[in-house]
Amino acid sequence: MRFVEVSQIQQNRLYGDLAYLWPLVSPPEDYAAEACCWREVLRGKLGPGRHRVLELGVGGGHHLSHLTAEFEATAVDLSEAMMCHSRRLNPGVEHIVGDMRTIRLGRTFQAVLIHDAVSHMQTEADLKATFATAAAHLEPGGVFITSPDHFRETFRDPFVDSTTHSDGETELTFIEFNYDPDPADTTIETVLLYLIRKGGELRIELDRLTTGLFARQRWLDLMGEAGFEVECCRRELNGADAQPELLVGTLCNPPG
């Protein structure tokens, strides 16, 4: 039996050569209930109207697809391969390749959204830069919503998840193994296993991600330093308190 060292597994393939699998990894319909929670928060803060929203780290656009009927959206992501999915799913949305830590579009919006892509921020400097980007793109009183996958206090080591989806031609079983090799730093590792069945054959691919893990209070403190008054919102999904906590910031002290 041949063993593979974790360090030998190529990183971030889901955003490159394996991006074509994204609709099977996490289908758009799986985001409907969660997006409803985000919509409720946006409406509660902004009121009626077709408000301008910017999503940073849009990925394949699955979450955004449940909001575009009511909001005028602009989308940013580093991965062109992932945004190909979003362009097909959200044809009326402007898509721009860029880094959420540094991009500046030179215009403002009434809301900035960062779904779980914010978990890719690995250091406090990354978080500060991202929150500064959100503030720079908001009107005074604008709303910033984000939702990390985990807080340090709530992360379970190991955290394991798996799903199986098929499009009628390809069946994918996706296994996700999250663990913290060094609790003294601000990152965790995720090993991803893709079991791809097509035409009677099985192919197995490996992938690896490094994401951030911070104490909940650090998120609140750093958002506050960026000029936001922060609230924490919980919503029930399908009768269970499964919605990741939404951090909702109102821009009270605009930058500059």
Over the chain (256 residues), the average pLDDT of each successive run of 10 is: 84 97 97 95 97 98 98 98 97 97 98 97 98 98 96 95 97 98 97 96 98 98 98 70 81 83
Location of each CATH 2.20.130 domain in the chain:
8-18+152-212
Task: Give me the pLDDT at residue 234, please.
Answer: 79
Task: Give me the pLDDT at residue 244, please.
Answer: 73
Task: Give me the pLDDT at residue 240, please.
Answer: 45
Location of each CATH 3.40.50.150 domain in the chain:
21-149+214-251
> To the nearest 10°, the Cα dihedral for 52, 53, 54, 56?
180
Helix (H) or strand (E) run with residue 73 in it: strand 72-77
Are 147 and 115 in contact, with CB atoms under 8 Å apart? yes
Fold of 8-18+152-212: S-adenosyl-L-methionine-dependent methyltransferases (2.20.130)
- The CATH class of the 21-149+214-251 domain is alpha beta
Task: Give me the pLDDT at residue 243, please.
Answer: 55
